[in-house]
Chain A
Amino acid sequence: GAGVSQSPSNKVTEKGKDVELRCDPISGHTALYWYRQSLGQGLEFLIYFQGNSAPDKSGLPSDRFSAERTGGSVSTLTIQRTQQEDSAVYLCASSSDLAGGVATDTQYFGPGTRLTVL
């Protein structure tokens, strides 16, 4: 595809339910990032995948959050037992990596998934 796509665009769920958010990065991009944008807050990093390396999970707010990236392409962010404070826009981005494995190129963002937990 031409850009990063995310699905669904909107998700409303009840407290306690599990949700899965999907991200399709730009073809060929080896780095993939998940960010969260809560109302009135800046974007905060959640998790980062770089090639075949182990993901950097240092931004995940709790063990209810997990993510995987299959085949080095599509990624799924899973939130278990959702809470109202999980309501936010979840943004995915991808970038190509340059020599040395450092993702220094521009990050391209998807349109986001707006999650509302009732």
Chain B
Amino acid sequence: KQEVTQIPAALSVPEGENLVLNCSFTDSAIYNLQWFRQDPGKGLTSLLLIQSSQREQTSGRLNASLDKSSGRSTLYIAASQPGDSATYLCAVLNSGNTPLVFGKGTRLSVIA
């Protein structure tokens, strides 16, 4: 059974810092991996999707990497801003018609 773990559970950084969020998964036979953002009381917003054949994806200040063989992904946020404060969720899609398997998220606070 696929299990997804995110470390740390919570993180507080001063504005302007670069930071890394970690995600690990137990079954490397994934189809893709997604990083989502969730604001309090809101739904999920997809940030980046990495197909299993890809190594990384970039969008603005965000960069997500995938090491499928070791079961790891990282989300790098450059020059963090207070508006980046949210919970970041990592989710994997296993091969076949299966739903996403989510980690419990990392709650990020960026202090001005």
Contact = CB atoms under 8 A, between A and B. Distances in A.
A43 B46 contact: no
- 7 A-B pairs with the lowest CB-CB distances in the bound complex, closest first: A109-B44, A42-B104, A43-B102, A45-B99, A111-B43, A109-B43, A42-B102
B100 A45 contact: yes
Given A43-B102, A45-B101, A91 B43 contact: yes
B34 interface: yes
Given A91-B43, A102-B96, A112-B43, A107 B34 contact: yes
25 contacts: A33-B99, A33-B100, A35-B99, A35-B100, A41-B104, A42-B104, A43-B100, A43-B102, A44-B102, A45-B99, A48-B97, A48-B99, A56-B99, A59-B99, A91-B44, A104-B51, A106-B46, A107-B34, A107-B100, A108-B46, A109-B44, A111-B42, A112-B42, A112-B43, A114-B41
B89 A43 contact: yes
Nearest to A112: B43
Report whether over half of chain B's contact residues are helix, strand or loop; otherwise say mixed: strand
B47 to A, nearest CB: 10
Question: Interface extent on A, as a size class?
Answer: 20 to 34
B49 interface: yes
Contacts of B4: 42
Contacts of A104: 31-32, 51, 93
Contacts, number: 61
A45 to B, nearest CB: 4
A42 B103 contact: yes
